[in-house]
């Protein structure tokens, strides 16, 4: 087990070296893999991960006396849209480099400060340059509630499976760190998704943003938007706020 963990970490280091620098990706500053211990120096993100950051904001506002918590500005909508846009920018860069992240979720997005997000955890990332498709060979646990049908049933990862995951990330952002498919166990979820079930529109979510989520969750991968298209659509939404 320890040897496999070491091998996975070395693969993650290699992926980060190949990716180079982008404002919205965690950068590898230095590493040393000589000897038994592996040492890494990476971007410092003192505010932790986006999921917990959003949840703290939600809990803070719930503790205010009613109706103050209804009027409290939580994190304002334009900031939430900016978060979504930054994630898309990072994923657009990954896609251009022919990498599939495979574990895109708010728990793997870190905050350098309250306005700057960085995508992290490249432990599942793989280069798909030759075929645009990747089939895993290890038995590592997979994040089913962030995965599309073709990944759940056929273990196929593509750039379009990352787009599906981004739709779940959008839902997490809008719900301030909500858990996807609340109350639905994995074994029930698989059949529901196959039968066409999708999460309902959160109560504080605009129609355009929900339509973006549904487009990301299209059952046919080729019919999902590209990150380039999502970038364009989010720019338009931000201009309107």
- Point out the residues that are catalytic: 103
| Distance separating alpha carbons of residues 137 and 31, to the nearest angstrom | 26
Instruction: Name the one residue in this structure whose structure tokens are 């380039």.
Output: 228
| Distance separating alpha carbons of residues 170 and 234, to the nearest angstrom | 11
| Distance separating alpha carbons of residues 136 and 138, to the nearest angstrom | 6
Burial category of 182 from C-beta neighbours within 10 Å (exposed 0-12, middle 13-18, buried 19 and up): exposed
| Distance separating alpha carbons of residues 81 and 77, to the nearest angstrom | 6
SS3 content of the chain, % helix, strand, coil (to 5): 50, 10, 40
Q: How far is CA 13 from the centre of its chain?
A: 19
Beta strands in the chain (DSSP E): 28-32, 39-42, 99-100, 109-113, 116-119, 126-127
The C-alpha angle with vertex 180 and arms to 174 and 183, in degrees rounded to 5, equals: 130
| Distance separating alpha carbons of residues 52 and 49, to the nearest angstrom | 6
């Amino acid at each position: 087990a320890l040897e496999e963990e070491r091998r996975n970490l070395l693969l993650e280091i290699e992926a980060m070296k190949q990716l180079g620098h982008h404002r919205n990706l965690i950068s590898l500053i230095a590493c040393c893999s000589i000897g038994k211990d592996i040492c890494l120096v990476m971007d410092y993100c003192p505010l932790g991960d986006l999921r917990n950051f959003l949840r703290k904001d939600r809990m803070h506002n719930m503790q205010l006396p009613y109706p103050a918590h209804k009027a409290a500005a939580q994190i304002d909508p334009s900031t939430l849209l900016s978060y979504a846009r930054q994630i898309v920018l990072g994923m657009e860069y990954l896609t251009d480099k022919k990498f599939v992240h495979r574990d895109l979720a708010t728990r793997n997005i870190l905050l350098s400060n309250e306005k700057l997000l960085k995508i992290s955890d490249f432990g599942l990332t793989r280069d798909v340059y030759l075929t645009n498709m990747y089939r895993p060979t290890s038995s590592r646990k997979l994040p089913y509630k962030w995965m599309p049908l073709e990944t759940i049933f056929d273990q196929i990862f593509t750039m379009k499976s990352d787009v599906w995951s981004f739709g779940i990330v959008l839902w997490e952002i809008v719900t301030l760190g909500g858990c996807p498919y609340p109350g639905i166990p994995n074994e029930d979820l698989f059949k529901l998704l196959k039968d066409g079930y999708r999460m309902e529109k959160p109560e504080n979510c605009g129609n355009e943003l929900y339509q973006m989520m549904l487009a990301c969750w299209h059952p046919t991968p080729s019919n999902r938007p590209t990150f380039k298209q999502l970038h364009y659509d989010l720019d338009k939404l931000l201009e309107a706020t």
